[in-house]
Amino acid sequence: MLLIFERGEKGRGLSLLPACDVPVVLPDDDNMRQKPLHLPEVSENDISRHYTDLERKSYGVNDGFYPLGSCTMKYNPKVNEDMASLSGFRDIHPLAPEACVQGCMEVLKTAEEYLCEITGMERMTFQPAAGAHGEFTGLLMIKAYHEGKDDRKRTKIIVPDSAHGTNPASVSMVGYTMVSVKSREDGGVDLDELKNVVGEDTAGLMLTNPNTLGLFDPHILEITDIVHKAGGLTYYDGANLNAIMGIIRPGDMGFDVVHLNLHKTFSTPHGGGGPGSGPVGCKKFLVDFLPKNLVDEENGSYTFTNPGNSIGRVRSFYGNFLVVLRALTYLLTLGKEGVPSVACHAVLNANYMMEELKDLYDIPYPAPCMHEFVMSLEGLKKETDISATDIAKGLLDYGIHPPTMYFPLIVPEALMAEPVETESLAAIDGAIQAFRELYERAQTDPQSLHRAPVHTPAGRMDELRAARHLILRYDFDERQKGADDDQKY
């Protein structure tokens, strides 16, 4: 496929603009661009075809089964988009006076109330722009809390080895040291090891429950209790809330601070890196440390307030407002019965798929799962040289997006599938069939699987070369030289 720069030709496509009828005044030499700007000269027709081509070559939840799940690409009801495109919400200015944006403030307040109810928290900030940003915010609050008591010996945050990579990164960003605890053979936190590592230097624990293996830790109350008894606080990574929302609350599991990923659980499309929203909620004793700009309501009128010991702002203004609006729309559409039913269907679908595959695929943690389950292809690879990558690439030829690969890190040759609640039985059965056929092919014709995919716009990628030879920018001058360099790889 041609790049947009390679389409069109000189002089084409500018005819829609009338000729300039005022004197041309150029900036002085210092402010002049030194090289000509490379703008593609294409007609409207060229552009339309270019983007239609791109659209046909991409794959999303609207195309078919997408087992990356709530964590990445849950179905986003179209009514959310209708609400987010209403002018009264979309065209507001962040500096508009409070009196002019009462409706928007009501959105924030209502979303906060519902999400606090769902998580068992007292208050919530919408400032953080993503889950990782929420982790950073929550840890800053934990730090401010300890420092507020002049307790400066607490420098360590405990994180299980099944955690998402953003957890250790956030720990180090706030200046804490991470202590990793191993998971038990059944996937839960090892209580003995936890007891060994907690102490006077424990600032807190970060935990995902259900964890990234899709397992709910049955000892969660003991875990949070051990940390509290040592004087630490507990942080809940809410990325997997899809499995439990409306059924059990992080607050009741003993957590003091939580983040949610509205763009995951509460359905905002975020392919390509944005936009997201990672609100952080906390128990009453931490409210004073929340970031600035909480919304308070009195007699039907809304004002922004700042907590007394606020950690300050972590982002400009009020966060990604339209993502919050989509989340609120989603909640209002589902209602009180709909929220837990999402969780129940997500868990049912994942367990069904796991049950239908476990005679072929090795499930290293075989307990009933929550919203996702993890397969290990280590055995298959030893036997047939077919890896998790090969099966994932094979799925592409069935028109199915592969599940998460090589995560969590504690499972070798991992494929982690999360079918989510909106997939029909027929769609899940189709995916199961594809997985089963690929397993057969690994035994009978592994060579052909190494070459998959063969029915996609692009075939098997050279991932090593893609990682080593990043081309992030179209360099007009270097193009020829770059083409020569390519030969080396």
Ligand X SMILES: *Cc1c(COP(=O)(O)O)cnc(C)c1O
The contact set with ligand X (CB under 6 A) reads 71, 130-132, 164, 166, 208, 212, 237, 239, 261, 276, 278
- Closer to ligand X by CB, 260 or 442: give it: 260
**Minimum distance of ligand X from residue 163's CB (angstroms):** 7
Instruction: Look at the alpha carbons of 378, 383, 385, 389 in this order and tell me if their dihedral is positive or negative.
Output: negative
Beta carbon of residue 316, minimum distance to ligand X (angstroms, whole number)? 18
Amino acid at 337: E
| CB of residue 367 to ligand X, shortest distance in Å | 19
Those residues with Cβ within 8 angstroms of residue 350's Cβ, 6 or more apart along the chain or in another chain: 214, 369, 370, 371, 372, 373, 417, 418, 419
**Closest to 258 (Cα-Cα) out of 180, 183, 206:** 206
* In the complex, least distance from residue 421 CB atom to ligand X, rounded to whole angstroms: 17
Closer of 276 and 394 to ligand X (Cβ): 276
Nearest residue (beta carbon) to ligand X: 131
State which residue, 209 or 387, has the beta carbon closest to ligand X.
209
Is residue 402 within 8 A of residue 393, CB to CB? The reply is: yes
Shortest distance, position 303 Cβ to ligand X, whole Å: 29
3-state SS, residue 204: strand
Count of alpha carbons within 13 Å of 44, Cβ hemisphere only?
Answer: 3
Q: Tokens 């972590």 belong to which residue?
A: 314
* Residue bearing tokens 């939580």: 258
Smallest gap from Cβ 66 to ligand X, in A, equals 16
Looking at the Cβ atoms of 254 and 279, the one nearer to ligand X is: 279
- The residue among 166 and 267 lying less far from ligand X, judged by its C-beta, is 166
Helix (H, G, I), strand (E, B) or coil at 309: coil
| Sequence-ordered strand ranges (E) for 333-379 | 373-376
Which is nearer to ligand X, 164 or 401 (by Cβ)?
A: 164
- Cβ proximity to ligand X: between 269 and 453 the closer is 269
**6-45 per-residue burial string, b: 16 or more CB within 10 A, e: under 16:** ebbeeeebeeeeeeeeeeeeeeeeeeeeeeeeeebebbee
Minimum distance, C-beta of residue 160 to ligand X, in the bound complex (Å): 11
Q: Please, which residue, 213 or 331, has the CB nearer to ligand X?
A: 213
The two tokens of residue 488 are 């080396």
* Residue 418 phi, psi (nearest 5): -135, 95
At its nearest, how many Å lie between ligand X and the CB of residue 416? 10
DSSP one-letter string for 379-431: HHHHHH---HHHHHHHHHTTT----EES-STTSTTEEEE---TT--HHHHHHH
Euclidean distance between CA atoms 386 and 480, whole angstroms: 38
Nearer to ligand X, 239 or 327 (CB): 239
Minimum separation from the CB atom of position 82 to ligand X (A)? 24
CB of 36 to ligand X, least distance (A): 39
Q: Is 166 or 329 the residue whose CB approaches ligand X more closely?
A: 166
305-310-314-319 Cα dihedral, nearest 10 degrees: -20
Q: Are strands 280-282 and 294-298 parallel, antiparallel or unpaired?
A: unpaired
